[in-house]
Structure 1
Amino acid sequence: MLDKELKQTIQGAYSTFLDKRGLKARYGQKMMVAEIARSLASIPFNSDGYREGTSHICVTEAGTGTGKTIAYLLASVPIAQQRNKKIVVSTATVALQEQLILKDLPQLISDAGINLTYGLAKGRGRYFCISNAEKVLQQQDELGQIALYEDEASQKLGHVQVEEIKSLLSEYASGQWDGDRDALPNTVSDSIWRLSTSDHLQCTNRRCSNFSICPFFKARQELEKWDLVVANHDLVLADLSLGGGAILPAPEDTIYIFDEGHHLGTKTTGHFSYSMRVKSSQRWLAKASRTLNKLLNDASEHVVLRSFIEKLATPFSEMEDTLTEFNQLLQQLLQDRLDKTDRYRFAQGVVPESIQLLMHDLATTSERVVLKIEQIVDLLKEAMDGEIADLPKETGELWYPQIGILLSRIQGMYWLARSYSISDADGKLPTARWIKRIDSSEGIDLECQSSPVSAAETLQEHLWDHCYGAVITSATLTAVGRFDRLYSDLGLPGDSPCSIHMSPFDYSNNAELIVPAMRSDPGNQALHNQELSEYLLQTIPQEQSCLVLFSSWKQMRYVLEQMPDKMVAEILVQGDLAKHEILRRHRERIDNKQPSVIFGLASFAEGVDLPGDYLTHVVITKLPFSVPDDPVDATYTEWIETQGRNAFEEWVIPMASMRLTQATGRLLRTESDRGKITLLDRRCITRRYGKQLLAALPPYRRKFS
């Protein structure tokens, strides 16, 4: 329960914050603080401080302008401090992380009088690995062959690349740089950075000679001191996949706040997806065999290690043979189908028995290899600790990272093969499985992919069952006005409290939703694209600050092809520049009193913050229904239909509702913003579901022709 002392602490901090900033309490923000505080304070716990029961998750939708960040911080921090828990605030975008670190958390301390320590957590891959960089330079003359990309032919580093790595080492050694990639004054190419960083399978941890000065572990030591950790959804999921507490605080001691929580489901299914390229894997296995033979030469005096390596020869050969047979089978089964499209999806995720059997063989063999390589890894660890007389420490240090990479690849192969070798249980959510054709420099390859269609079971198993508490928030959590879709997708306990806090914006006076008269329906793609081109040709010359959101690359490219070159040259087009650069140039043009128009896709429909004069017109070319051939969505909708339910009503419309709300939400970012939204899809008026989609939007003033 929210005891008197906690209640006074939270209310006092909120009042102090408002007074210092000269603000008046916003009703939605005030209610959000109360809702979250009541929920977290009501979590039952035992004498050891661990949660009991399942009433520990709070879901709250807060419209733009509510002030949700300060609301959840004010509500959660005092409770976490009283209960001796850590807080992990997880976001989906870098922009929100920067806002938290640079603005919201400093304000919480200075203006609300709350004392806490905090910082930004990043994955290991964002930090410089001194040992790997040194080894790359040392091995240039000795090995000569360092692959810049996993699947490309090995090549020796050029002079410029070598100098880049030397420069990174020099900057870190001199103290000019702390080893964080994001803090580099100049950008470094991905290919060089991959050689200069590490992952948990390559890292030798405390056994590394550079451990005491390692940028990642220095950052980890700081993280352990913080009361509040800012992270992203990917890092949280990576930590959970390692058992929790490996990177971030342990789940049972943590209150998670998932801001931009509508991304959590998609991030989770993506994180637990698997893939394997068939021919590439065959080539890699051959290379791995040669790598093991080199290790065998270096460790020939160690009988046990030699035995482990020799025992891998047979399973490696078996895996290569299985992949050869698998490739031939796929070619036979899919040749005609892949001629028509670059992707073939197995209906309801069910693969043919012939594929299942081969993948069962591959899974069984690769699992044996994983176990044997883990034994080799353990021996190399012992060598680095100086515990094995006939296996020098230097040999362990040299080979541990390389065997770690090998282990990672074999594990990936095992997970994919296992996914293809088993059938989904009747009545349970299926796994989407599909084959994609890849055109590479070495010819055509086939990539097998699999993904859960829902995050529900994964989040239940890895997160909800273990964490002390959680808050899920966003400006868009409901679909067609309900939380059903979110609860189902995230596997939330049915008794988790939920609330909606409306934005303080005056939507009806400040924004107009326009649906013009049109001759065509998007169902007729050719006619609709033609009419769309005509509309934009007339509209764009009159625009001062406009964002046009397209439904596909094909649609956007068609429209651009219909425009004169002079007009196209003035448009900022997604794909031509990085997103942040497009937004920077757009703001610069507006600041210089020049007109600016952005053409973008789904990634510009959310997370784009262009207040005031930076954006006065949003054009949505088409209702944002899911792409019909998306393998995950298609498998999920099939499954819903097999359960005797209506997939269009249950899945397609709710997802379109959330996306449409996000897209229209680009317009008003502050209470003083003004503008209009044009929707070039009359199905919102002519179709029955259109009323549902419109009803779920904020109360914009409407103008329908």
Structure 2
Amino acid sequence: MSASAEMLLEVGKEIETEIKAASGNEIFIRAQLNSKNIIEEIEVLARGNSYSAPAVINNIMAGEMIIHNHPSGDLTPSAADIRLAAKMAAREVGFAIVNNQADQIYVVVEAGSKKENKKLDKEEVLSYFKKEGKLARELERFAERKEQLVTAEKIINSFNQHQFDFIEAGTGTGKSFAYLIPALFYNNLNQARIVVSTNTINLQEQLINKDLVTLQRVLDFDFNAVLVKGRNNYLCLRKFKNFNKNFENDELEIEEKIFNELNDWKKHTESGEKTEINFQLKNKVWNQIAAESDLCLKTSCPFYSNCFFMQARKKIYKADILIVNHHLLLSDARVKDDTGSADRGILPNFNHLIIDEAHNIGEIATDHLGYPLYQPLLDNWLKRLSGDKKSLLSEIREDIAFTVDSDQKRLRDILDKKIIPTTQKIRDLIPQYFNELKDLISDYKDKKITVNANLKNNPKWKEFHKTAEDLAAYLKNDFSFLQIIYENLYLGLEAETEESEMKIKSSLNRCQDLIKRVEFNLKSEDDDYVFWLESSYYRGSEQIVQKSAPIDAGKFLPDMIWSKLTNVIFTSATITAANSFDYFYRETGIKKAEELKVESPFDYSRQAELLIPLDFPDPGNRNFLKELVLSLKEIISKAQGSTMVLFTSYKMLSYCYNNLKAELEEKGIRILSQSKLSRNYIMQEFRSQYKTIIFGTSSFWEGVDLPGDLLKYLVMVKLPFPVPGEPLYKAKENLLKEKGLNPFYNLALPQAVIKFRQGFGRLIRSKNDTGFIILFDRRVKNRSYGQKFLDSLPQGCPVSEVNQEELLAKIDKNGE
């Protein structure tokens, strides 16, 4: 190993002094190099223990170097060092290790060329947000808002300094323009692609169809914005050709009318996007013609030049700003991380990311990092492999017939004596596997059962364990036999067999994934994960799912995505809990960020009031639901519409719906219940019909925008605390206890406060909206933690305790 002290000539003593100040422990340094590759300036970013230090790499730029010391004196890079060095190399950042005396240095990765990014002119960009600015001339109801100016200034600084920023901007701040305008200016200066990620379709459509269209007229330069969708949203022309052939041969379960509508749409569509379809089409039909990554022939496809997804992909790579959702963002990051290839994802390389509706990012990351296993996943793979005369095994049999004589018998024997019997064993084992899980979970009252030592001692688990081992073994055997067929029959053959080759590669990849899922959930030994069994109903029948999720997604996110970026802006109306970003730091795994909290510009002292009914029983009281039904009946009868009731469980929602439906319908009031109707249908009906009430839970606490007179009364039945018995929640609790933290104040309370604030934010959506929020949970008044919820209300919002008579009088007065 070569180690040279030449690079340390100017800063060696300074580094040694910093290491001594850290008691000889590891420190993490940002270093600037001169033209002769000598380190001329250092900045200590973090200090650790004798074997590690936090890698604070948020705003490290190309041409710089990060350095840390090995107190042992051995400068050999560890596996973790090499992983981080590889990520830094992609950003053209150098990576080196020094000893504690700072007289030896080992350069793992050389620093790249220093890039001087042009900085935004703050005065020029902020001028767009002022009353005499260009935005005001374009928008009819524009008003200069100091909150928007402060937010925009913070975002300008974030781009100029390449920072990570947490920005909480209250409803009505105008944060979309506050980040879009600086982002577009920065891209125009530096040709630096910007990705904007949102949680809801509503916000995506607002950005792409409204805000960015406005900015095309307002800004003095052109830009190209694209809404990015996953491959499955696009029609595959090759698959449609086969679909059409199967229909002609009467091999499809589809009505002729639907097929003709689909065929007509296919002839006229320009984008091939599923969202264009304006007739009812079942998902199982769409999946037969939708594009799929592992069934794509790429340039070998005869339809490549007209491929809808490839045309969309070309637009993505030419775009200045990409609008995505959190699911796609995290899927892209995980694929790239798992494969180690930046070319395997949907998104091109980027260094600048804006995450709007950022309060959801931890929960969505948790979902994406799990390995769920459910029967349809296995059934779908099996159907493609060996379902009918169009299956992969049928195609393999036909292809074997065209091989030379010496190979035919051997390959046919593998197919008939190995693959087909093994596949049949898998077919027999799948229902047995899930029936045994169903029998196991029936021993317990809960719908979700944590897989732990107690469960594994259950005789039924041990019986299931043997079945699972058998299933994994047969899947591995099938994989091995298919691999032999692939290598001997398809690998390296001519284009005519490329489709069959692609199909068998797809089957092999999916089989490998299924093996991983079966074994990962069966062993359930990864300390970073929690494992559980979950019983739910799907299309009228019970379905058992094996689930797994990281206990702390924030542990994985820095390596998976944040470390690859130089600038990330997280923004939402609700990031803080009790005015602190601490919970969000844990959710994202980020150690250091700039912070900004901006209040809503709405006048809540005039526009809203929180009403808390007097003498109402606590939610734990057995009379709570009965009293709630009586009170809701009077409120809804008086309000006659413009009301949304938010519940924290379907059970409570269903109880109230069943006890109020008939009586309210007699009065001409219709309840649109999430237990009976889809979210989209509810929103359409509520907007178009008078005397309708929404009963919602889960998704209705956020992303609902009903301005003006559409929504005047928002009822929150309970404070939205998470369900304490959930396996993931219990695992998070235990992890916090191990760290010496109180789970209630560091998990349950922050989650509940953030969701409460989201729910509260459904009422006032513009400066002209007015209305009441009615909260039936008196714990905000009689529990010590209740003040945390009240402190989270927008500034100036009045809080009143009222009896039922006073409450109804307020509704009466508001309706005049």
TM range, normalised to the smaller chain? Answer: 0.7 to 0.9
Alpha-carbon distance between aligned partners in 2 of 1:648 and 1:397, rounded to the nearest angstrom: 55
Cα 1:312–1:472 change in 2 (3 A) is farther
Shift of 1:653: 0.5
Alpha-carbon distance between aligned partners in 2 of 1:490 and 1:371, rounded to the nearest angstrom: 40
Does residue 537 (structure 1) correspond to residue 633 (structure 2)? The answer is: yes
1:209 to 302, 307, 310: 302
Q: Output one character per residue of 1:387-417: Cα deviation in whole Å (capped at 9) or x when no partner.
A: 526xxx4444257347625642541442342
Provide the residue aligned with 2:45 in structure 1: none
Does the aligned pair in 1 maintain the 2:297–2:498 contact within 8 Å? no
Shift of 1:375: 7.6
Does the aligned pair in 2 maintain the 1:625–1:656 contact within 8 Å? yes
Cα 1:283–1:692 change in 2 (3 A) is closer
Shift of 1:191: 2.3
Shift of 1:35: 1.1
Provide the residue aligned with 1:579 in structure 2: 679
Provide the residue aligned with 1:344 in structure 2: 449
Provide the residue aligned with 1:417 in structure 2: 519
1:661 to 739, 746, 757: 757
Provide the residue aligned with 1:34 in structure 2: 153
Unaligned runs of 5+ in 2: 1-115, 337-341, 803-816
Shift of 1:456: 1.2
Does the aligned pair in 2 maintain the 1:89–1:229 contact within 8 Å? yes
Provide the residue aligned with 1:10 in structure 2: 125
Shift of 1:604: 1.2
Does the aligned pair in 1 maintain the 2:411–2:485 contact within 8 Å? no
Alpha-carbon distance between aligned partners in 2 of 1:279 and 1:77, rounded to the nearest angstrom: 44
Cα 1:8–1:248 change in 2 (3 A) is farther
2:206 to 99, 103, 111: 99
Alpha-carbon distance between aligned partners in 1 of 2:552 and 2:545, rounded to the nearest angstrom: 22
Alpha-carbon distance between aligned partners in 2 of 1:634 and 1:14, rounded to the nearest angstrom: 46
Kindly report the root-mean-square deviation, in angstroms, between the aligned alpha carbons of the 2 structures.
3.4
Does the aligned pair in 2 maintain the 1:295–1:399 contact within 8 Å? no
Does residue 236 (structure 1) correspond to residue 329 (structure 2)? The answer is: yes
Q: Map 1:304-703; keep pairs closer than 5 Å.
A: 306=411, 330=437, 334-337=441-444, 340-347=445-452, 366=475, 388=493, 393-397=495-499, 400-401=502-503, 404=506, 407-408=509-510, 410-421=512-523, 423-425=525-527, 430-437=528-535, 446-492=544-590, 494-524=591-621, 526-543=622-639, 544-563=641-660, 565-568=662-665, 570-589=670-689, 594-699=690-795, 700-703=797-800
Shift of 1:647: 1.1
Shift of 1:455: 2.2
Does the aligned pair in 2 maintain the 1:275–1:412 contact within 8 Å? no
Shift of 1:642: 4.0
Aligned partner of residue 275 in structure 1, secondary structure: coil
Residues matched between the structures, number:
659
Alpha-carbon distance between aligned partners in 2 of 1:297 and 1:442, rounded to the nearest angstrom: 38
Write the letter of the residue equivalent to 1:268: A
Write the letter of the residue equivalent to 1:265: G
Alpha-carbon distance between aligned partners in 1 of 2:580 and 2:483, rounded to the nearest angstrom: 48
Cα 1:324–1:677 change in 2 (3 A) is closer
Cα 1:627–1:380 change in 2 (3 A) is farther
Alpha-carbon distance between aligned partners in 2 of 1:367 and 1:262, rounded to the nearest angstrom: 41
Aligned partner of residue 531 in structure 2, secondary structure: strand
Write the letter of the residue equivalent to 1:514: L
Write the letter of the residue equivalent to 1:38: N
Provide the residue aligned with 2:194 in structure 1: 87
Provide the residue aligned with 1:193 in structure 2: 286
Alpha-carbon distance between aligned partners in 2 of 1:279 and 1:189, rounded to the nearest angstrom: 16
Alpha-carbon distance between aligned partners in 2 of 1:519 and 1:181, rounded to the nearest angstrom: 49
Aligned partner of residue 276 in structure 1, secondary structure: coil
Aligned partner of residue 602 in structure 2, secondary structure: coil
Shift of 1:177: 4.5
Alpha-carbon distance between aligned partners in 1 of 2:772 and 2:577, rounded to the nearest angstrom: 23
1:266 to 363, 368, 374: 363
Provide the residue aligned with 1:171 in structure 2: 265
1:254 to 348, 351, 356: 351
Cα 1:330–1:77 change in 2 (3 A) is same
Does the aligned pair in 1 maintain the 2:450–2:727 contact within 8 Å? yes
Shift of 1:555: 0.9
Shift of 1:280: 7.9
Provide the residue aligned with 2:52 in structure 1: none
Write the letter of the residue equivalent to 1:611: P
Aligned partner of residue 209 in structure 1, secondary structure: coil
Cα 1:322–1:99 change in 2 (3 A) is same
Alpha-carbon distance between aligned partners in 2 of 1:32 and 1:374, rounded to the nearest angstrom: 56
Give the greater-gyration-radius structure (CA).
Answer: 2
Provide the residue aligned with 1:71 in structure 2: 178
Q: Output one character per residue of 1:285-343: Cα deviation in whole Å (capped at 9) or x when no partner.
A: 59845755424312224449939867756875886798688668757755522xx2333
Aligned partner of residue 688 in structure 1, secondary structure: coil
Alpha-carbon distance between aligned partners in 2 of 1:259 and 1:127, rounded to the nearest angstrom: 25
Alpha-carbon distance between aligned partners in 2 of 1:283 and 1:13, rounded to the nearest angstrom: 53
Provide the residue aligned with 1:50 in structure 2: none
Does the aligned pair in 2 maintain the 1:18–1:25 contact within 8 Å? no
Does the aligned pair in 1 maintain the 2:119–2:186 contact within 8 Å? no
Does the aligned pair in 1 maintain the 2:265–2:277 contact within 8 Å? no
Write the letter of the residue equivalent to 1:342: K
Q: Map 1:91-170; keep pairs closer than 5 Å.
A: 91-140=198-247, 156-160=252-256, 163-170=257-264
Alpha-carbon distance between aligned partners in 2 of 1:443 and 1:110, rounded to the nearest angstrom: 53
Alpha-carbon distance between aligned partners in 1 of 2:694 and 2:536, rounded to the nearest angstrom: 31
Write the letter of the residue equivalent to 1:585: E
Cα 1:158–1:564 change in 2 (3 A) is closer
Q: Which moved more, 1:58-67 or 1:350-359?
A: 350-359
Write the letter of the residue equivalent to 1:345: T
Unaligned runs of 5+ in 1: 44-55, 146-155
Percent identity between matched residues is 27
Alpha-carbon distance between aligned partners in 2 of 1:227 and 1:617, rounded to the nearest angstrom: 42
Write the letter of the residue equivalent to 2:584: L
Shift of 1:704: 1.8
Cα 1:610–1:19 change in 2 (3 A) is closer
Does the aligned pair in 2 maintain the 1:370–1:411 contact within 8 Å? no
TM-score (norm 1): 0.84
Alpha-carbon distance between aligned partners in 2 of 1:79 and 1:29, rounded to the nearest angstrom: 18
Write the letter of the residue equivalent to 1:434: W
Q: Output one character per residue of 1:43-78: Cα deviation in whole Å (capped at 9) or x when no partner.
A: 2xxxxxxxxxxxx42211100010000001122222
Provide the residue aligned with 2:315 in structure 1: 222
Alpha-carbon distance between aligned partners in 1 of 2:684 and 2:187, rounded to the nearest angstrom: 38
Aligned partner of residue 242 in structure 1, secondary structure: helix
Cα 1:11–1:381 change in 2 (3 A) is farther
Alpha-carbon distance between aligned partners in 2 of 1:342 and 1:561, rounded to the nearest angstrom: 23
Aligned partner of residue 451 in structure 1, secondary structure: strand
Does the aligned pair in 2 maintain the 1:61–1:473 contact within 8 Å? yes
